[in-house]
Amino acid sequence: MDKKEDLQTLDAQATPDAKSMKGKNKEKFKRMREREDRKPFMIYPEDSDKANWDLFITLVLVYTCVATPARIAFSTEDTVGWATVRWLVDFFFLVDIIIIFFSAYQDEDFKTIDDRNVIACAYIQSWFFLDVFAIIPFSSILESSGSSGNGS
């Protein structure tokens, strides 16, 4: 009997906390969906254009992950078509870098961070330098400097 009473006591103590957690989650989701004050030229996470851009840039990234190794393995020439595609992909990633500076994000508590300074500092401290490094056209730079590895 003692164990059953202990379990009922624990259940009674846990229930209000679970209910208050559900209330907190509802508040978080409400804050996430409804925006009262929107800053100009700020892209918010719930915007459908932001979701479409994220999907598009993800597809471009998947293309890059598939096409780059395939081109390294099977292609010896860089045709005008492939060069154009490569420049377009780099351009899309450059646009993505710019968009990130204008994109609000949500922290762990679903609080929207839309302070431009905070966004810029967070991005620069995380992925910015890797993103910039990834779009530098090293092959074009080497070709234009005459160091393409052909002995000239």
- Walk along the chain (152 residues) and give the pLDDT tens digit of each residue: 555 555 455 555 554 555 565 677 777 666 666 667 889 999 999 999 999 999 999 999 999 999 989 988 987 777 899 889 999 999 999 999 999 999 999 988 889 999 999 999 999 999 999 999 999 988 778 888 875 455 44
> Which residue in 121, 76, 86, 84 sits closest to 100, CA to CA?
121
Q: Which of 128, 141, 68 is nearest to 96 (CA)?
A: 128
User: pTM (2 decimals)?
Assistant: 0.71
pLDDT at 115: 96
93, 60 contact by CB (below 8 A): yes
The predicted pLDDT at position 83 comes to 87
Give the chain's length. 152
Question: Under a CB-based contact definition with an 8 Å cutoff, are residues 103 and 117 in contact?
Answer: no
> What local confidence, expressed as pLDDT, does residue 19 receive?
58
Domain segments of the chain as ranges: 1-31, 41-145
Distances (CA, A) of 94 to 33, 48, 91, 125: 29, 21, 5, 18
